[in-house]
Amino acid sequence: MKENSMNKAKIRNLATILNSSKTVRFTHNNFFYEILKSADTGYVVNIYSSNELDEYGEYLEENCIDGGLCTGNTENAIEFML
């Protein structure tokens, strides 16, 4: 396992949450992750430098430092940008 990797039990737990709620947010290595079920296929993964939220409870777009689409399963989506 990589030194800064998240352990498998935590990945499985987050994947379970993502599977049931279609969205999950978590912090890892001082970054803020948001993973959403895509309307088309897979999962949208966004990483933010701050947990600052707008008036609707969404992360501020200007703090997004990376993002992408993962077409794998929920565990793949959690691991996608770790």
In angstroms, the Cα distances linking 46 to 9, 42, 49, 73 are 22, 13, 10, 16
Residue 41 lies in a domain: yes
Residue 3 lies in a domain: no
pTM beyond 0.85: the answer is: yes
Residue 1 lies in a domain: no
Residue 20 lies in a domain: yes
**The residue type at 72:** G
pLDDT band with cut points at 50, 70 and 90 for residue 81: confident
Report pLDDT digits (tens) over 15-62.
999 999 999 999 999 999 999 999 888 999 999 999 999 999 999 999
Residue 64 lies in a domain: yes
Residue 72 lies in a domain: yes
For the chain, what is the domain count? 1
Domain limits at 64? 8-79
